[in-house]
Structure 1
Amino acid sequence: MWSILFVCFAAIQLLLAAYLLQPAFLLLIYGIKKLFGALFAKKKTNTETPGKNYSFAVIITAHKNLQLVPPLVDSVLRQTYRHFKVYVVADGCETANIGYNADPQVKVLLPEVPLNAKIRSIDYAINHFDATHDAMIILDADNLLHPDYLQVLNRYFNKGYRAVQTNMLAKNNDSIYAQLDAAGNYFSNFIDRRMRMEMGLSANIWGLGIAIETALYKQVIYRNFLGGFDKKIQADIVKLIPQLAYAEDAKVYDEKIDSGDALETQRTRWINAYFKYFKYGWDVLLTGLRKGNFNLVYFGFNLLRPPLFLQVVGAAFFAAANYFISPVWMLGWIIAMVLFPLSFFIIVAVMSTDRKTVSALFYLPVFFIRQVKAFLHIGRANKAFLQTQNNKVIYIQDLLNQ
């Protein structure tokens, strides 16, 4: 009996250690490739043909407030690539006027009955497509697109990718919380997207900035409409396609949270979604094992990965427990707990061009405490639609000029 418990205790520790040390391992691979990549780099040739001009449906989901929609629509209309149409779903809004209603490339939809769910808003837009679009792009109202966004995406779809996650960058960095939120994005983009593409594996998606073939999206069947949009869609489509791509050069800007309360609301929703949709990780992992598909195994393994703050809590617990059990293991945990934040700092410093974001990392303990508080209130996400409030009105041209 005790031997079984010890094996389980050791297995859990090894699993958590694998998650905690993964950033350092990927950073090592990144460094080796950077160091020796020039020796094996092939000369680039301009032999690519333009290929097909994909028709994109740009879906914007807005809930009860259209204040941020005009700047986003403006950024879409400024695209250098012109084969698109914008669908704005004004869910629960009193008016559908966004100032661009007369533009032939913009269609504003005002549901008669409030939908109160992003998934329903997306389906509503699809049901009102004017024509058959090759692919659709899902955005939140607080986003902005770089002028070359669709041009880059068209190249990726011409390479044969059927689903592409784009690069989410910060729209604002005017507070410590916004800077820390942006730092988290840089870290996630590195370990879950950039390095996955480097290794030829499928990238994780965000709940926004995902471009996907319309026919492929329609194969995803939802049974729960309150949160977990990204958890469900990626767990389904990763099993249907060879690789879920990441386009680092397709830039979408997202408003970062700017207060502790906003952080708690956001993370309460995210943490709740992690536990609620935990089963999807197992499904992908077991599917990968059954098919002998390393891409799915690795993807499922990371879907099961606990939020970062829980990993840190778990590491501290095992370090303390091993003080009484195994001093060697305790030392191992101490080393892991040093390597993890060090890797985090290095990754953010490498990926970020903003000194404020790097400097803000010294306030991570505050961020950590707020996430613990969010964890203690995860039950709220099952009872209400927890929406993060956004209010930064800025146009893409002003953002690019900063």
Structure 2
Amino acid sequence: MLWTLLNSLLFFGAGSAVAYLVLFAAAARWGSRSHRVPRPSSWPRLAVYIPAYKEDAVIVDTARRAADHDYPGVFEVVVIADSLRPDTMAALDELPVTVVPLDVEESTKATALKHGLDATPPDKYDAAVVLDADNVMAPGFLEQVACSVANGARVVQGRRVAKNHDTALARLDGVSEAINNQIFRRGHHALGLSAALIGSGMALEMDLFRRFMGAIDTPDGFDKELELRLLRAGTRIEYAPDAVVYDEKVRADAVFVDQRRRWIGAQARYLRRHVRGGLRALVRGGPFDYVDKVVQMLLPPRALLVASLPLISLGNLLAGALGWAGAWGGLSGLLAAGLFAAVPADRDDLSVASLLSALPRGVWLGLRALLRSREGLAPNTTTPHHTSQASAPSS
């Protein structure tokens, strides 16, 4: 009896998570809602903010490429320079970009962005674009997000794509990002829901960005805090899959674990803060996008699902519970089918083979990150980047 009850409770929880992932993976693969928006008669004025904390290896090249980006309207690149070397600052001064020095004891990305906004005159720009220090905008990125803004979108998330595929771990990280784009952005858009923010490659109406960023003070996961505040206020987040920005993927195990540890910790922190608000919104009938975001934060890490479902099936098989073994085995197969369906069909640099080859290592590292997710967050914690010189892959 206890065995049946335990299986029932676990199966309900895991089955709900798998059903959520499979639903939006299928919507992304076979949904037909258009992402195209018409070109505007006048182009929005854009401020492109690039926070850079000790990013000496990449920021000069990133800023140069951003300044050279072809956009038919007016735009300005603003580098928030935090703890950069004197030679890096001198190199940035030679570029047609605005450099905003930042010198605080415990800086965060939220602090840097607020500092950059403070240095921008009011009413000078219509929208803000946020990039990471290693990001490279693909041709037409600003044009694509500007089209959405000009046609009424207040928040737009572009599509981040892996910039490097030089290690198995980087390929796995790239596949993971692509799956997230499909499930939490393209799939949500196909079903009429808001896309998820990533923290870079995004554009926001300037007045809106100023108002919401002013209330954010968090050591990590500022994009989740911003996203939750926007959705709770009823602000829709659009997705622009043709607005591609290339993002460096991690190469080292320790960096991968630390990055995922911080993400999982931030998700748990924001879930605790917003679960009651999500329940109230559900009872009151909305905003449903906010309810959906709280539900997303309840989802267990994919690494945990991939590792645990087959093991539970095996445990039931060894215990002689053949019905439950079959049920858990079927749920494992459904999860696998959903994840494979979420690998985008338009990416010739990704493959099921690359996912399978790196999956065991990725699952192991993901579980390590989960076990360490309760560790405290040190100030100025970032993911190290190496170079932005690598040629961007095709999409």
TM tier, shorter chain? 0.7 to 0.9
Is there any run of 5+ residues in structure 1 with no aligned partner, and where? none
1:7 Cα deviation (Å)?
A: 7.3
Aligned residue number for residue 295 of structure 2: 301
**1:263 matches 2:261:** no
Amino acid at match of 2:142: L
Q: Secondary structure at the match of 1:179?
A: helix
**1:134 matches 2:129:** no
Q: Secondary structure at the match of 1:219?
A: helix
1:80 Cα deviation (Å)?
A: 2.5
Aligned residue number for residue 75 of structure 1: 65
Q: Secondary structure at the match of 1:152?
A: helix
Amino acid at match of 1:116: S
Aligned residue number for residue 382 of structure 2: 387
Residues 242 and 111 of structure 1: CA distance in aligned 2, closer, same or farther (over 3 Å)? closer
Q: Secondary structure at the match of 2:93?
A: coil
| Structure 1: distance between partners of 2:161 and 2:394 | 15
| Structure 2: distance between partners of 1:127 and 1:195 | 36
1:2-401 equivalence runs, <5 A: 10-11=8-9, 13-30=11-28, 32-33=30-31, 48=38, 50-81=40-71, 82-95=73-86, 97=89, 99-103=91-95, 106-132=97-123, 133-217=125-209, 218-220=211-213, 222=215, 224-283=217-276, 285-293=278-286, 294-316=288-310, 318-319=312-313, 327-348=322-343, 350-355=345-350, 358-394=353-389, 398-399=391-392
Larger deviation: 229-238 or 75-84? 75-84
| Structure 2: distance between partners of 1:379 and 1:33 | 38
| Structure 2: distance between partners of 1:50 and 1:375 | 45
CA deviations 1:188-222 (Å, max 9, x no partner) are 00000001111111011112112112222223555
Larger deviation: 166-175 or 226-235? 226-235
| Structure 2: distance between partners of 1:401 and 1:147 | 12
Residues 176 and 380 of structure 1: CA distance in aligned 2, closer, same or farther (over 3 Å)? same
CA deviations 1:47-66 (Å, max 9, x no partner) are x4624421211111111232
CA contact (8 A) 2:228 2:290 kept: no
Residues 98 and 262 of structure 1: CA distance in aligned 2, closer, same or farther (over 3 Å)? farther
Amino acid at match of 1:144: V
Larger deviation: 369-378 or 357-366? 357-366
Q: Secondary structure at the match of 2:188?
A: helix
Amino acid at match of 1:129: T
| Structure 1: distance between partners of 2:220 and 2:50 | 17
TM-score norm. by structure 1 comes to: 0.85
| Structure 2: distance between partners of 1:292 and 1:31 | 29
TM-score norm. by structure 2 comes to: 0.87
Query: What is the aligned-residue identity percentage?
Result: 24
Larger deviation: 80-89 or 228-237? 80-89
Q: Secondary structure at the match of 1:350?
A: coil
| Structure 1: distance between partners of 2:89 and 2:237 | 36
CA deviations 1:67-98 (Å, max 9, x no partner) are 21122222222222241111111112232626
| Structure 1: distance between partners of 2:378 and 2:253 | 21
Amino acid at match of 2:302: L
- Please tell me the root mean square deviation across aligned C-alpha atoms, in Å: 3.1
Larger deviation: 48-57 or 168-177? 48-57
Count how many residue pairs are aligned between Structure 1 and Structure 2: 388
| Structure 2: distance between partners of 1:194 and 1:309 | 22
Larger deviation: 17-26 or 300-309? 17-26
| Structure 2: distance between partners of 1:87 and 1:305 | 36
Residues 234 and 144 of structure 1: CA distance in aligned 2, closer, same or farther (over 3 Å)? same
Higher RCO (CA < 8 A, seq sep 6+) = 2
Larger deviation: 110-119 or 54-63? 110-119
1:374 Cα deviation (Å)?
A: 2.1
Is there any run of 5+ residues in structure 2 with no aligned partner, and where? none
